[in-house]
Amino acid sequence: DQQVKQNSPSLSVQEGRISILNCDYTNSMFDYFLWYKKYPAEGPTFLISISSIKDKNEDGRFTVFLNKSAKHLSLHIVPSQPGDSAVYFCAASAAGGGADGLTFGKGTHLIIQP
Amino acid sequence: DTAVSQTPKYLVTQMGNDKSIKCEQNLGHDTMYWYKQDSKKFLKIMFSYNNKELIINETVPNRFSPKSPDKAHLNLHINSLELGDSAVYFCASSLGGGQFFGPGTRLTVL
């Protein structure tokens, strides 16, 4: 039973354009959402997060949008750069990002084409 | 100056053996975790420790036991290894909010 779903296994975007990665969740108790980036043979790297009391959070080229009614969040990367090519994981927590573990999606492999 | 470190990076062993993976964080975080990434690439929480107390144990076999000698360390001991234990194991830590992950340990059981 996947509580966090990333339905696109891969996404190809041209350098300089906007990358939009999507994530859906089913657990209404989730109140804290995160995006991680992962390169091969490395651990996931925290990118950006959003609390359920917000609908948008921005950090440089990265913006996360949260639509609670649709149980949907998305990560926008603009402009996309070659170094953004990686697997992106959406994750959620039901404890405000506290001591609970995170529930992860299966990841989306983002490929930035020159 | 690595924030979360794990040793070893690779571990190859025979079925039935007992092995340990070490994890250390120098971030001053008070909660540490172990995750397993299986062959389907799912990252799943196994344990978390907060102030040396186990908080979560997500249906993990009791062959797996976390040991935390102090707040900066959370080691994972695995007894009687099975083929299905082959996976990448990630340690993480947090102070609330985002979790910071180690580089992972690829365990292969032959």
CB pairs under 8 A between A and B: 62
The per-residue pLDDT for B1 is: 62
Judge whether residue B78 has pLDDT over 80.
yes
The per-residue pLDDT for A19 is: 98
Judge whether residue A58 has pLDDT over 70.
yes
**A44 — pLDDT class (breaks 50, 70, 90):** very high
Spatial neighbors of A69 by CB under 8 A, at least 6 apart, are none
Q: What percent of chain A has pLDDT over 90?
A: 87
Q: Write out the DSSP string of A43-66.
A: --EEEEEEETT-SEEEETTEEEEE
Measured CA to CA, the distance from residue B81 to residue B16 in angstroms comes to 5
**Which chain A residues are within 8 Å of B32, Cβ to Cβ?**
none
Q: Which of A14-18, A38-42, B20-24 has the lowest mean pLDDT?
A: A38-42
The per-residue pLDDT for A99 is: 61
The per-residue pLDDT for B23 is: 97
Q: Does the CA dihedral A1-A103-B45-A8 come out positive or negative?
A: positive
Judge whether residue A97 has pLDDT over 60.
no
Distance from CA of B47 to the nearest CA of A (A): 8
**A69 — pLDDT class (breaks 50, 70, 90):** very high
CB contact under 8 A, B97 and A107: no
For the segment B24-73, what is each residue's pLDDT rounded down to a tens digit? 999 999 899 999 998 877 899 998 888 777 877 768 899 999 999 888 99
Give yes or no for B108 touching A (CB within 8 A): no
The per-residue pLDDT for A98 is: 57
Mean pLDDT of A100-114: 92
**Which chain A residues are within 8 Å of B58, Cβ to Cβ?**
101
Judge whether residue A56 has pLDDT over 80.
yes
The per-residue pLDDT for B54 is: 83
C-alpha distances in Å from residue B58, one per residue of A41, A103, B105: 25, 11, 20
